Chain A
Amino acid sequence: MPGRLEPESVPRRDFLGLAGLWSAGLAILGSIAGMARLPKPRVLPETSSQFRIGRATDFAPGTVRVIGEQNVRVIGTNEGVAAMSLVCTHLGCIVSEEGGGFGCPCHGSKFDVAGNVVGGPAPAPLKWLDVSASADGSLVVDKGRSVAPGTYFKLA
């Protein structure tokens, strides 16, 4: 109303109407947020990322073993035992041995024997994986934990 000093109050009906609208809007947003949470799994359904590869004595220096079903290559050297993933760091194909290093069939990435990229689109070296000894003395590789290239598990 012109001339009044107090600011014009929101009429009660409008207030109730707006409050109703906002709460409906918030409820819908809240439900959507709740629903969006569902597809992100809390635990990934994978089988354990760790697996045994045998006893330390199986990996005398010079040993090379490819564990096919795990896509992992284990080598024994004078410095110890190391495991490297054969999953291409580009888009996840499986590399195979090729000319003293590794080659990927999907888009032609090339790696040297230590997993360093020497050609193609791969953005990173092949992953070296954590090797440890379990209580019973057998060696365990953990695909879920990568280590710096050149890390060897020292045999006692």
Chain B
Amino acid sequence: MASGLETFIANVKALPRTFRESAVRHGAPTSDRTRSQAVFGNLFLHIHATRTHPHSLKLTSTWALGVSLVSQYAILLATGVLLMVYYKPSIETAYDSIKDLHYVVPTGRYIRNIHRWAAHMMVATCILHMARVFYTASYKPPREFNWVMGMFLFVMTLLFSFTGYLLPWDQLAYWAITIGANIAASPNELAEALGLPKAFYLGDLIKEVLLGGSTVGQEALIRFYVLHIAVLPLVFTAGLGVHMWRIRKDGGIARPDGNPTAASKGVGSMAPQKATTSSELTKTYGLMAVVPDKSAHTGQHTDETVPTWPYLFRAELLVFMVTLVICVMLGLLFDAPLTELANPNVPENPAKAPWYFLGLQELVSYSAFVGGVVIPTIVILGLALIPYLDREPDPPGKWFGWAHEKYVGRASLVYGAVAAILSVAIPVRFGWLRNWFPEIPQIAIILINPGSLLTIAYALWSLFILKRTGSTRLGAVALFTCFLVGFVILTYVGTYLRGPNWDFYWSRSQWPTH
């Protein structure tokens, strides 16, 4: 008996050690070898390879945008769960619960502010990240699919914002979502203009499913809530997992010379990246076995990689900390807005969506269907297909690596800006079709408007560059650059130059006072 008791006591004493050993399947991460094992053997860490190329660690390769997106998402999840503790998704209580969060709940105001700012940052960072991937040509094979996954995450990010925007149930929320839902229903506009029978009013169906009614009310609020806190987080998290996994499986962050030799060390080599990833894949596994022999003492493998732990983890932690600091600072300094309680009888004037939708709102102010449905669909599809339509062996991972890319980029910047400004200035100065031909049929208003003409102008420019230079990459550069400047300019106009009745004003101080 005594020996049984002794064993028991010995087991209790050993508990911290035995528990740790059972949880971590290898020794303490003190050597390169055990750290590699930790990365390799841990469900969460093995989304990274065990070794990382120094090119991936350079700030200028990625500007850390992807990792800060992941950080922002993590911050949104944490603050979002906290907000859910008090938020009540009913039209009687939603507004008051946000007010409580703001004025009564300890730290509630800051948690809400941080959630709001992180959401804004995520949309902005997403666009910057997309631009960095584009201008470093990092979507080239084998990374085409990950570009598509990225577009998917971008659309999900916008849906997150759209659904979250309704939840405070204030005037801003109510009217932005009323407009948004009617945009979704705008295929009706076409059906009506063509005189189709009621059965073709697809918009009614979309609206009913989205809102659970024909106007924004309790049903809509609960639907948006479910999307925002359950459906989208699940879908987004899964999509993010795939995005991260593919980075690893595609051989890490794109770099100019897939596997540099000592001779071609560093960036700048024009040699195309190794054709497939299969060699990279076997390499990862091979590494596990060879780490202790070849690199434990130098930290340098024959292919110049460094251990992921600590180098990459340290960099990621730093990016996370910086992102967190920015979010907290913004949260402490600036309050998230909350206007009056939603009132279905009096719209906000002007009723503005969040900034990243204001470019869209510009287009919608010409035609709901073309500006709100057709053009965005074309843009999203066009962007998503870029890697399949441009397969030239650009050195991936190198900024502006293709011959004449900078030149074409600059020319497109000017062209895209002039076209976008004209598309706003002409209707503001001279009016549009309905002012010139009052009897014009509706279908002409729908199809021929400044937004659709701008889209066509961009497409033609891209085709012109394609033809002129004979390079699909330069055609893509022209298109993407036009899209970026168009987005920025229309967003600027929608944000700063539009006042009551969506009229044009040079500054807010000129808005009429009621």
Contact = CB atoms under 8 A, between A and B. Distances in A.
A93 B365 CA distance: 13
A61 interface: no
A93 B501 CA distance: 11
A123 B219 contact: no
B445 interface: yes
A27 to B, nearest CB: 22
Given A103-B501, A104-B501, A106-B347, A45 B446 contact: no
B501 A39 contact: no
A104 B348 CA distance: 11
Interface residues of B, number: 46
B220 to A, nearest CB: 10
Contacts, number: 98
- Chain A interface residue bracket vs B: 20 to 34
A119 B436 CA distance: 10
A54 interface: no
A44 B365 CA distance: 29
B193 interface: yes
Interface stretch (B176-184, B293-301, B332-340, B407-415): B176-184
Contacts of A39: 209, 212, 223
Contact of A68 (B345, B500, B503): B345
Contacts of A68: 345
Nearest to B188: A123
B350 interface: yes
Given A46-B213, A90-B182, A123-B369, 11 more contacts: A40-B205, A41-B208, A41-B219, A44-B212, A45-B212, A68-B345, A69-B345, A92-B179, A118-B438, A120-B365, A121-B366
Interface of B: 175, 178-179, 181-183, 186, 189, 192-193, 205, 208-209, 212-215, 217-219, 223, 344-351, 361, 364-369, 434-435, 438, 442, 445-446, 500-503
> 10 shortest A-B CB distances, which residue pairs?
A105-B349, A107-B365, A91-B182, A93-B347, A108-B502, A91-B179, A92-B182, A108-B501, A107-B502, A123-B189
Interface of A: 39-41, 44-46, 68-69, 71, 90-94, 103-108, 117-121, 123-124
